[in-house]
Protein backbone atom coordinates (compact mmCIF):
# COMPACT_ATOMS: atom_id res chain seq x y z
CA UNK A 1 0.00 0.00 0.00
CA UNK A 2 2.78 2.41 0.94
CA UNK A 3 4.63 1.54 -2.28
CA UNK A 4 1.51 2.35 -4.31
CA UNK A 5 1.11 5.70 -2.55
CA UNK A 6 4.76 6.59 -3.16
CA UNK A 7 4.34 5.72 -6.82
CA UNK A 8 1.25 7.93 -7.12
CA UNK A 9 3.07 10.79 -5.39
CA UNK A 10 6.07 10.42 -7.71
CA UNK A 11 3.80 10.47 -10.77
CA UNK A 12 2.02 13.56 -9.49
CA UNK A 13 5.33 15.36 -8.91
CA UNK A 14 6.58 14.33 -12.34
CA UNK A 15 3.37 15.64 -13.93
CA UNK A 16 3.73 18.94 -12.08
CA UNK A 17 7.35 19.24 -13.17
CA UNK A 18 6.43 18.64 -16.82
CA UNK A 19 3.56 21.12 -16.59
CA UNK A 20 5.71 23.84 -14.97
CA UNK A 21 8.54 23.21 -17.46
CA UNK A 22 6.12 23.50 -20.37
CA UNK A 23 4.66 26.72 -18.96
CA UNK A 24 8.11 28.25 -18.40
CA UNK A 25 9.22 27.22 -21.87
CA UNK A 26 6.08 28.70 -23.42
CA UNK A 27 6.60 31.98 -21.52
CA UNK A 28 10.26 32.10 -22.58
CA UNK A 29 9.24 31.57 -26.20
CA UNK A 30 6.66 34.37 -26.01
CA UNK A 31 9.28 36.65 -24.45
CA UNK A 32 11.86 35.80 -27.14
CA UNK A 33 9.34 36.38 -29.93
CA UNK A 34 7.29 39.33 -28.72
CA UNK A 35 9.26 41.27 -26.11
CA UNK A 36 13.03 41.15 -26.47
CA UNK A 37 13.15 41.77 -30.25
CA UNK A 38 11.32 45.05 -29.60
CA UNK A 39 13.20 45.96 -26.40
CA UNK A 40 15.85 48.21 -27.87
CA UNK A 41 18.92 48.86 -25.74
CA UNK A 42 20.84 52.13 -26.06
CA UNK A 43 24.45 51.60 -25.01
CA UNK A 44 26.55 54.70 -24.33
CA UNK A 45 30.34 54.60 -24.28
CA UNK A 46 33.14 57.14 -24.06
CA UNK A 47 36.14 55.96 -26.07
CA UNK A 48 39.60 57.47 -25.84
CA UNK A 49 41.26 57.53 -29.26
CA UNK A 50 45.00 58.24 -29.04
CA UNK A 51 45.25 60.02 -32.39
CA UNK A 52 42.03 62.02 -32.11
CA UNK A 53 42.52 65.77 -32.57
CA UNK A 54 41.17 67.98 -29.79
CA UNK A 55 38.76 69.54 -32.30
CA UNK A 56 36.87 66.22 -32.32
CA UNK A 57 36.77 65.82 -28.55
CA UNK A 58 33.17 64.94 -27.62
CA UNK A 59 32.29 63.92 -31.20
CA UNK A 60 29.23 61.66 -31.12
CA UNK A 61 28.87 58.63 -33.37
CA UNK A 62 25.70 56.56 -33.35
CA UNK A 63 26.16 53.01 -34.64
CA UNK A 64 23.44 50.70 -35.84
CA UNK A 65 23.99 47.37 -37.51
CA UNK A 66 22.22 44.37 -39.00
CA UNK A 67 18.92 46.11 -39.61
CA UNK A 68 17.83 43.11 -41.71
CA UNK A 69 14.94 44.79 -43.45
CA UNK A 70 12.41 42.10 -44.34
CA UNK A 71 8.74 41.27 -43.77
CA UNK A 72 9.27 41.19 -39.99
CA UNK A 73 11.27 44.45 -39.79
CA UNK A 74 8.38 46.43 -41.22
CA UNK A 75 7.98 50.15 -41.85
CA UNK A 76 6.55 50.86 -38.40
CA UNK A 77 9.48 49.18 -36.67
CA UNK A 78 12.02 50.90 -38.94
CA UNK A 79 10.50 54.31 -38.26
CA UNK A 80 10.71 53.72 -34.51
CA UNK A 81 14.37 52.68 -34.73
CA UNK A 82 15.40 55.69 -36.78
CA UNK A 83 13.50 58.09 -34.52
CA UNK A 84 15.51 56.69 -31.61
CA UNK A 85 18.73 57.18 -33.57
CA UNK A 86 17.88 60.83 -34.21
CA UNK A 87 17.04 61.35 -30.54
CA UNK A 88 20.69 60.59 -29.69
CA UNK A 89 21.69 63.77 -31.59
CA UNK A 90 24.49 62.16 -33.61
CA UNK A 91 27.25 64.05 -35.33
CA UNK A 92 27.73 60.96 -37.48
CA UNK A 93 25.62 57.83 -38.06
CA UNK A 94 27.39 54.62 -39.09
CA UNK A 95 25.63 51.51 -40.36
CA UNK A 96 27.83 48.44 -40.23
CA UNK A 97 26.19 46.13 -42.74
CA UNK A 98 23.27 43.79 -43.39
CA UNK A 99 20.78 46.51 -44.14
CA UNK A 100 18.54 43.94 -45.86
CA UNK A 101 18.01 40.22 -45.20
CA UNK A 102 19.05 37.92 -48.01
CA UNK A 103 16.39 37.43 -50.70
CA UNK A 104 14.30 40.25 -49.18
CA UNK A 105 15.00 42.92 -51.80
CA UNK A 106 11.27 43.61 -52.14
CA UNK A 107 11.52 45.52 -48.86
CA UNK A 108 14.29 47.91 -49.94
CA UNK A 109 11.73 50.74 -50.48
CA UNK A 110 10.84 50.48 -46.76
CA UNK A 111 14.49 50.84 -45.88
CA UNK A 112 14.85 53.87 -48.15
CA UNK A 113 11.94 55.67 -46.47
CA UNK A 114 13.47 55.06 -43.05
CA UNK A 115 16.99 56.09 -44.07
CA UNK A 116 15.68 59.41 -45.37
CA UNK A 117 14.64 60.28 -41.80
CA UNK A 118 18.21 60.33 -40.43
CA UNK A 119 19.43 63.78 -39.38
CA UNK A 120 23.09 63.64 -38.24
CA UNK A 121 25.05 66.88 -38.03
CA UNK A 122 27.64 65.70 -40.56
CA UNK A 123 26.84 62.53 -42.45
CA UNK A 124 25.56 58.96 -42.49
CA UNK A 125 28.03 56.36 -43.77
CA UNK A 126 27.43 52.67 -44.39
CA UNK A 127 29.08 49.45 -45.41
CA UNK A 128 27.57 46.24 -46.75
CA UNK A 129 27.31 42.90 -44.97
CA UNK A 130 27.05 39.42 -46.41
CA UNK A 131 23.22 39.51 -46.56
CA UNK A 132 23.27 42.69 -48.67
CA UNK A 133 25.17 40.89 -51.42
CA UNK A 134 22.58 38.11 -51.36
CA UNK A 135 19.71 40.56 -51.72
CA UNK A 136 20.18 43.23 -54.41
CA UNK A 137 23.37 45.23 -53.80
CA UNK A 138 22.75 47.53 -56.75
CA UNK A 139 19.28 48.49 -55.49
CA UNK A 140 20.62 48.98 -51.96
CA UNK A 141 23.39 51.20 -53.32
CA UNK A 142 20.80 53.25 -55.17
CA UNK A 143 18.66 53.65 -52.05
CA UNK A 144 21.69 54.85 -50.10
CA UNK A 145 22.73 57.31 -52.80
CA UNK A 146 19.20 58.74 -53.02
CA UNK A 147 19.17 59.37 -49.27
CA UNK A 148 22.61 61.05 -49.34
CA UNK A 149 24.37 58.24 -47.47
CA UNK A 150 28.03 57.57 -48.27
CA UNK A 151 28.69 53.90 -48.92
CA UNK A 152 32.28 52.97 -48.15
CA UNK A 153 33.20 50.19 -50.56
CA UNK A 154 36.89 49.83 -49.63
CA UNK A 155 36.98 53.60 -49.31
CA UNK A 156 37.31 56.42 -46.78
CA UNK A 157 35.26 59.44 -45.80
CA UNK A 158 37.13 62.27 -44.08
CA UNK A 159 35.57 64.70 -41.62
CA UNK A 160 37.16 68.12 -41.07
CA UNK A 161 37.23 70.54 -38.17
CA UNK A 162 39.49 73.32 -39.38
CA UNK A 163 42.78 71.63 -40.22
CA UNK A 164 42.00 68.58 -38.07
CA UNK A 165 40.80 65.37 -39.71
CA UNK A 166 38.92 62.26 -38.63
CA UNK A 167 38.90 59.43 -41.16
CA UNK A 168 36.06 56.91 -41.44
CA UNK A 169 37.17 53.92 -43.50
CA UNK A 170 35.12 50.98 -44.68
CA UNK A 171 35.95 47.57 -46.10
CA UNK A 172 33.57 45.53 -48.18
CA UNK A 173 32.30 42.28 -46.74
CA UNK A 174 34.99 39.84 -45.61
CA UNK A 175 32.82 36.71 -45.72
CA UNK A 176 32.10 37.43 -49.39
CA UNK A 177 35.81 37.92 -50.08
CA UNK A 178 35.37 41.53 -51.19
CA UNK A 179 37.51 43.32 -48.59
CA UNK A 180 40.54 45.26 -49.88
CA UNK A 181 42.24 46.70 -46.85
CA UNK A 182 45.27 47.44 -49.02
CA UNK A 183 43.19 49.87 -51.11
CA UNK A 184 41.85 51.52 -47.95
CA UNK A 185 45.36 52.03 -46.56
CA UNK A 186 46.53 53.58 -49.84
CA UNK A 187 43.78 56.20 -49.58
CA UNK A 188 44.29 56.86 -45.87
CA UNK A 189 46.41 59.91 -44.96
CA UNK A 190 49.16 59.32 -42.42
CA UNK A 191 47.79 61.88 -39.96
CA UNK A 192 44.47 62.01 -38.13
CA UNK A 193 42.55 59.39 -36.18
CA UNK A 194 41.08 56.57 -38.27
CA UNK A 195 37.99 54.46 -37.58
CA UNK A 196 37.37 51.31 -39.60
CA UNK A 197 33.92 49.91 -40.38
CA UNK A 198 34.10 46.15 -40.98
CA UNK A 199 30.98 44.00 -40.85
CA UNK A 200 32.74 40.94 -39.40
CA UNK A 201 34.31 41.64 -35.96
CA UNK A 202 37.03 38.98 -36.14
CA UNK A 203 38.60 40.97 -38.98
CA UNK A 204 40.00 43.08 -36.12
CA UNK A 205 43.02 40.76 -35.91
CA UNK A 206 43.94 41.85 -39.44
CA UNK A 207 43.08 45.54 -39.14
CA UNK A 208 44.77 45.95 -35.74
CA UNK A 209 47.98 44.50 -37.12
CA UNK A 210 48.33 47.50 -39.46
CA UNK A 211 48.66 49.84 -36.47
CA UNK A 212 46.73 52.54 -38.35
CA UNK A 213 43.25 52.33 -36.83
CA UNK A 214 42.20 53.62 -33.42
CA UNK A 215 38.83 51.88 -33.52
CA UNK A 216 36.94 49.24 -35.49
CA UNK A 217 33.13 49.13 -35.50
CA UNK A 218 31.44 45.86 -36.47
CA UNK A 219 28.21 43.88 -36.27
CA UNK A 220 27.35 40.53 -37.89
CA UNK A 221 27.14 38.42 -34.70
CA UNK A 222 23.76 39.58 -33.29
CA UNK A 223 25.57 38.72 -30.02
CA UNK A 224 24.43 35.16 -30.69
CA UNK A 225 20.78 36.25 -30.97
CA UNK A 226 19.78 33.49 -28.53
CA UNK A 227 22.09 33.01 -25.55
CA UNK A 228 21.95 31.90 -21.94
CA UNK A 229 23.35 34.19 -19.24
CA UNK A 230 27.04 33.66 -18.41
CA UNK A 231 27.59 31.35 -21.39
CA UNK A 232 29.04 31.99 -24.83
CA UNK A 233 26.36 31.71 -27.53
CA UNK A 234 26.06 28.24 -29.01
CA UNK A 235 25.59 29.55 -32.55
CA UNK A 236 27.67 32.35 -34.04
CA UNK A 237 28.30 33.21 -37.69
CA UNK A 238 31.64 32.82 -39.40
CA UNK A 239 34.18 35.51 -38.42
CA UNK A 240 32.23 36.43 -35.29
CA UNK A 241 33.38 33.74 -32.86
CA UNK A 242 36.17 35.64 -31.14
CA UNK A 243 34.78 39.16 -30.67
CA UNK A 244 31.04 38.61 -30.72
CA UNK A 245 29.69 41.31 -28.38
CA UNK A 246 30.72 44.60 -26.82
CA UNK A 247 34.09 46.30 -26.44
CA UNK A 248 37.54 44.74 -26.86
CA UNK A 249 41.15 45.87 -27.06
CA UNK A 250 42.88 44.13 -29.98
CA UNK A 251 46.56 44.95 -29.85
CA UNK A 252 46.37 48.76 -29.54
CA UNK A 253 43.07 49.11 -31.41
CA UNK A 254 39.63 49.33 -29.81
CA UNK A 255 36.86 47.18 -31.28
CA UNK A 256 33.15 47.49 -30.66
CA UNK A 257 30.75 44.79 -31.84
CA UNK A 258 27.15 45.96 -32.00
CA UNK A 259 24.42 43.37 -31.29
CA UNK A 260 22.36 44.49 -34.26
CA UNK A 261 18.76 45.48 -34.74
CA UNK A 262 17.20 42.65 -36.73
CA UNK A 263 17.27 38.87 -36.81
CA UNK A 264 17.90 35.98 -39.16
CA UNK A 265 16.64 32.42 -39.09
CA UNK A 266 14.12 32.15 -36.26
CA UNK A 267 12.81 35.60 -35.47
CA UNK A 268 13.73 35.28 -31.81
CA UNK A 269 16.02 37.13 -29.41
CA UNK A 270 16.83 35.85 -25.96
CA UNK A 271 19.60 37.33 -23.81
CA UNK A 272 20.68 39.48 -26.75
CA UNK A 273 18.66 42.68 -26.95
CA UNK A 274 18.74 44.73 -30.18
CA UNK A 275 21.12 47.64 -29.84
CA UNK A 276 21.79 51.25 -30.74
CA UNK A 277 25.29 52.32 -29.70
CA UNK A 278 26.19 55.92 -28.84
CA UNK A 279 29.96 56.45 -28.96
CA UNK A 280 31.42 59.69 -27.63
CA UNK A 281 35.03 60.18 -28.75
CA UNK A 282 37.57 61.49 -26.29
CA UNK A 283 40.88 63.11 -27.26
CA UNK A 284 44.04 62.78 -25.17
CA UNK A 285 44.83 65.82 -23.09
The whole-angstrom separation of Cα 258 and Cα 277 is 7
Q: For residue 247, is pLDDT > 80?
A: yes
Enumerate the domain spans of the chain: 1-38, 41-283
The whole-angstrom separation of Cα 142 and Cα 136 is 10
**pLDDT at res. 267:** 87
Q: Are 98 and 262 in contact (CB under 8 A)?
A: yes
**pLDDT at res. 265:** 84
The whole-angstrom separation of Cα 74 and Cα 72 is 5
Nearest alpha carbon to residue 62 among 225, 275, 283: 275
What mean pLDDT do residues 133-142 have? 96
% the chain with pLDDT above 90 = 83
Nearest alpha carbon to residue 123 among 146, 93, 153, 162: 93
SS3 145: helix
Convert 10-41 into a string of H (helix), E (strand) and C (coil). Answer: HHHHHHHHHHHHHHHHHHHHHHHHHHHHHCCE
The whole-angstrom separation of Cα 218 and Cα 209 is 17
pLDDT digits 0-9 by tens, 207-236 = 999 999 999 999 999 999 998 888 899 899
Within 8 A by CB and 6+ apart from 150, the residues are: 123, 124, 125, 126, 144, 157
The whole-angstrom separation of Cα 202 and Cα 78 is 28
Give the pLDDT band (50/70/90) at residue 190. very high
Total Cβ atoms within 10 A of residue 231:
9
pLDDT digits 0-9 by tens, 65-78 = 999 999 989 899 99
What are the CB-based long-range contacts (under 8 Å, 24+) for 27-30? Answer: 28/270, 29/268
CATH 3.60.21.10: does it fit domain 41-283?
Answer: yes
Q: Are 61 and 94 in contact (CB under 8 A)?
A: yes
Radius of gyration of the chain (CA): 22
Write down the H helix ranges in the chain. Answer: 2-30, 75-87, 108-115, 130-133, 137-146, 181-187, 204-209
Strand 215-218 with 193-197, pairing: parallel
**pLDDT at res. 219:** 98
Give the pLDDT band (50/70/90) at residue 29. confident
Q: pTM of the full predicted structure?
A: 0.93
SS3 63: strand
pLDDT digits 0-9 by tens, 81-127 = 999 999 999 999 999 999 999 999 999 999 999 999 999 999 999 99
Q: For residue 25, is pLDDT > 80?
A: no
Q: How far is CA 90 from CA 36, 85, 124, 214, 234, in A?
A: 25, 8, 9, 20, 34
Nearest alpha carbon to residue 219 among 127, 122, 118, 145: 127
Amino acid sequence: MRKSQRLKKARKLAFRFVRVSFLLGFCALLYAYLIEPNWLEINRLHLNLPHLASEFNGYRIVQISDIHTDKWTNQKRLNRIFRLVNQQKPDLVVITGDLVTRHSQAFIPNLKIALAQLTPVDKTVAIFGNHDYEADPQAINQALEQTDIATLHNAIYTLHRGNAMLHIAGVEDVCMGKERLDLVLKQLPSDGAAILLAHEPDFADTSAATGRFDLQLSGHSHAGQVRLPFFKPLILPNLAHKYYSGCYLVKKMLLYTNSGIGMTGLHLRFGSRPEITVLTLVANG
